[in-house]
Amino acid sequence: MSVGERERATLARVVETFCPGAPSRAVADTIVAELEAVDRPKLVADLVLFLRVIERRTANLVLAGRPRPFSAMTRHERESYLISWGESALPPRRAAFQAAKRLSLFVAYSRSDGAANPLWAGTGYAPPALDPPAQPMLSARAVSAGEVIAADAVVVGSGAGGGVAAAELAAAGRHVLVLEQGALATEDEFEGREDRGAAGLFWDRQLLTTEDLAISVFAGRTVGGGTVVNWNTSLRLPEDVREEWTRAGLDGMGSALDEHYDAVESRLDIDTEESERNAQNAVLAEGLDALGIPWRVIPRNVAGCGDCGHCGYGCRRGAKQSTMRTYLADALATGAELVARCHADRIAVAHGAAAGVEATCADGSRITVRAPLVVLAGGAIGTPALLLRSGLGGPQVGRSLHLHPVPAVLGLYERPIRTWSGVPQSVVSDAFARIEGGYGFRLEVPAALPGVLAAALPWRSAAQHRSLMEELAHVAVFIPIVRDREAGRVVIDRAGKAVLRYRVSGLTARLCTRAIVEAACLHLGAGAREAITLHTDPLHVRQGDDLQAFARAVERRGVGPNRVGMFSAHQMSSARMGADPRRSVADPDGWVRGIRGLAVADAAAFPSASGVNPMLTVMALARRNVGRMLSRG
């Protein structure tokens, strides 16, 4: 289904309602182009349906008591009408409101065309001055249509797990081919631009969500994967989670795993020497100190880090020690090859053993990689999708998806914060990590630019939203990273694309509610004049307010789908390792059951949610698993 001229005109009116200062038709056309580029026809069809419904007199009479098309309403009427969708008891209407709001505001505030966006005036935001780019360390191999490539091992994915696996296998003398569905973006392309970075470096152009649109999912899709776009936080697996994974059947979760951590930390230059506190990390530390809550400094994988603050869209100076500058470079230096913009379609199997991978390149041409060892490292989204397309791995594939849902809370401060400036994350508190058993949340802060902030901020009217945007330089965001007990699932649609089915419920929902309250209290403890939740109808708490009453209000409001903004930057456990074949896809060493020569080496293999930023543990486990593969020949 295509978006016709009539629907585009309606979309422009929607954009103009959400953000009157934006060039509404240009933003509308960009939204359509982005959704079409994602290549998920249902997204376009749902948008067309929404735009047609809101122009129908009879539908609006039933839905809003106004027998007029959306485009014929006054501005005030349009705003009230959209809010009625956002507050509807019907989940599809709430989802449609959130989708329209996020798309309109993200595109409006992130677009720049290489120059300053007029909407940035008054927000305090200015893009960073560009450093000279670091010298690229990688090059991709060219392929031709129908080519058959022979290798000793093919690694699907080039992020934390794939980079380590490729380097270890290549160092052992194996001829390794790395397949990456994202593009190879070199340092001179890292401009800190939100629009280009989102489109080029993230899964679904940073528009990926759970199936019900309730959680925005940020996952890297580029050479280097999440290690290129993450915020450098490098934390080891907590002791209680190690014990939990040991009970699941994984051995060597103590000192043996520490040896792998040590090796990875050495290669990535992980320490706290470049973990300075910018204003946002400082107010988190101050809030924790004011309430007597302990915190610690975050180790980071950087060498020569600057103050650009935009490294969520790639590190131009090459200070971020991503796999692109470390393990992948090591692998290619010892004979490995990299093929970028190449999607692994299915795993080839012969006589009960992996035989390689069939793949499609960006130009539509197909290639075949023949290899007796296939290492899956496409992340907790890509790995189960490939297994499902291949009909491998058994009934547990895609199950037990964990997302670490994040119910962020804003604080408004008198002093400048500038979430887009300085070290992204340098302070973490583990104080709430074990509220119930091994489940709770950790507190950190995000690096956030105008587009993401505009999409996340509550919208009650265009004037109210713009008023918040004009305080943007004084906004701090605290993010509780919730260790989720209840799991979701990765399935595939008719085209074989991954679909994330996940709902915050049970203990996880209770933890999210508690996390919102604690984060708001920390803002007030740090001196914020006000804390604001991301509910559709936001809750506010100010200095001197009754905190117990606020907590009760948050509990009543809850965290139902599309009633409060949430995101996830950590996806795990959708092809998990374990001793029990009824509860896992791979054995405790990462081998996928039922197929010889097929292994998992990414966050999909986690037996459960890690509770901390997963990058470092992905790399340590990948090194562990590949070492065991090599020891067995």
Nearest to 274 by CA among 298, 310, 295: 298
Q: Dihedrals φ, ψ of 373, to 5°?
A: -130, 125
Q: Dihedrals φ, ψ of 374, to 5°?
A: -120, 120
The CA distance from 188 to 130, in Å, is 10
The CA distance from 463 to 84, in Å, is 17
pLDDT score of 306 more than 90: no
Q: Are 514 and 405 in contact (CB under 8 A)?
A: no
pLDDT of residue 59: 83
pLDDT digits (tens, 9 = 90+) for 104-155: 999 999 998 877 899 999 999 998 888 899 999 999 999 999 999 999 999 9
pLDDT of residue 113: 80
Close Cβ partners of 276 (under 8 Å, ≥ 6 residues apart): 422, 423, 426
pLDDT of residue 444: 98
Answer yes or no: do 539 and 472 share one domain: yes
Answer yes or no: do 262 and 324 share one domain: yes
- Of 131 and 443, the structure prediction assigns the larger pLDDT to 443
pLDDT digits (tens, 9 = 90+) for 488-544: 999 999 999 999 999 999 999 999 999 999 999 999 999 999 999 999 999 999 999
Q: Dihedrals φ, ψ of 120, to 5°?
A: -70, -20
Does some domain include residue 168? yes
The CA distance from 196 to 325, in Å, is 21
Domain that holds residue 10: 5-111
**What is the number of residues in the chain?**
633
Does some domain include residue 531? yes
Answer yes or no: do 62 and 96 share one domain: yes
Answer yes or no: do 418 and 355 share one domain: no
pLDDT of residue 479: 98
pLDDT of residue 274: 95
The CA distance from 27 to 510, in Å, is 38
Name the band, by pLDDT with cuts 50, 70 and 90, for residue 309: confident
pLDDT of residue 384: 98
The CA distance from 35 to 542, in Å, is 39
The CA distance from 391 to 375, in Å, is 16
Name the band, by pLDDT with cuts 50, 70 and 90, for residue 620: very high
Answer yes or no: do 450 and 542 share one domain: yes
> Which of 89, 111, 133 finishes a domain?
111
Sign of CA dihedral 62, 68, 72, 76: negative
Answer yes or no: do 91 and 187 share one domain: no
pLDDT of residue 371: 98
Question: With pLDDT > 70 as the criterion, what percentage of the chain qualifies?
Answer: 100
Q: Are strands 409-412 and 475-482 parallel, antiparallel or unpaired?
A: antiparallel
Question: With pLDDT > 90 as the criterion, what percentage of the chain qualifies?
Answer: 95
> What DSSP designation does 569 have?
S
Q: How many domains does the chain have?
A: 3
Q: Are 570 and 603 in contact (CB under 8 A)?
A: yes
> Which of 568, 583, 610 finishes a domain?
568
Name the band, by pLDDT with cuts 50, 70 and 90, for residue 338: very high
> What DSSP designation does 589 have?
T
- Both tokens of 210, joined, read 């759970």
pLDDT score of 229 more than 90: yes
Name the band, by pLDDT with cuts 50, 70 and 90, for residue 87: very high
Nearest to 237 by CA among 260, 266, 217: 260
The CA distance from 488 to 490, in Å, is 7
pLDDT digits (tens, 9 = 90+) for 399-420: 999 999 999 999 999 999 999 9
Name the band, by pLDDT with cuts 50, 70 and 90, for residue 332: very high
- 3-class DSSP state of 541: strand
Q: Are 428 and 442 in contact (CB under 8 A)?
A: yes
pLDDT digits (tens, 9 = 90+) for 353-390: 999 999 999 999 999 999 999 999 999 999 999 999 99
pLDDT of residue 128: 83
> Of all residues in the chain, what percent are helix, strand and coil, respectively (each to 5)?
40, 20, 45
The CA distance from 204 to 164, in Å, is 25
pLDDT of residue 301: 98
Unique residue bearing structure tokens 């509910």? 535
Answer yes or no: do 394 and 423 share one domain: no
Chain-centroid distance of CA 380 in Å reads: 11
Tell me whether residue 489 is exposed, middle or buried, using C-beta atoms within 10 angstroms of its C-beta: 0 to 12, 13 to 18, 19 or more.
middle
Does some domain include residue 67? yes
Question: CA 228, 230, 235: angle at the middle one, nearest 5?
Answer: 120
pLDDT score of 196 more than 90: yes
Angle at which helices 194-201 and 91-110 cross, to 10°:
120
Answer yes or no: do 564 and 577 share one domain: no
Does some domain include residue 283? no
pLDDT score of 565 more than 90: yes
Q: Dihedrals φ, ψ of 401, to 5°?
A: -70, 125
pLDDT of residue 177: 98
Strand partners, 156: 179, 376
Answer yes or no: do 175 and 217 share one domain: yes
Does some domain include residue 291? no
The CA distance from 629 to 168, in Å, is 10
Unique residue bearing structure tokens 């993200």? 106
Answer yes or no: do 320 and 177 share one domain: yes
Answer yes or no: do 38 and 52 share one domain: yes
> Which of 524, 544, 568 finishes a domain?
568
The CA distance from 69 to 622, in Å, is 56
Name the band, by pLDDT with cuts 50, 70 and 90, for residue 38: very high
Does some domain include residue 262? yes
pLDDT digits (tens, 9 = 90+) for 42-72: 999 999 999 999 999 988 888 777 789 999 9
Answer yes or no: do 552 and 622 share one domain: no
Nearest to 228 by CA among 301, 140, 304, 306: 301
pLDDT score of 633 more than 90: no
Q: Are 625 and 601 in contact (CB under 8 A)?
A: yes
Close Cβ partners of 484 (under 8 Å, ≥ 6 residues apart): 402, 403, 404, 405, 439, 504, 508, 511, 609
Does some domain include residue 298? no
- 3-class DSSP state of 549: helix
pLDDT of residue 260: 98
List Cα–Cα distances, 94 to 87, 104, 228, 508, in angstroms. Answer: 6, 15, 33, 21
Does some domain include residue 142? no
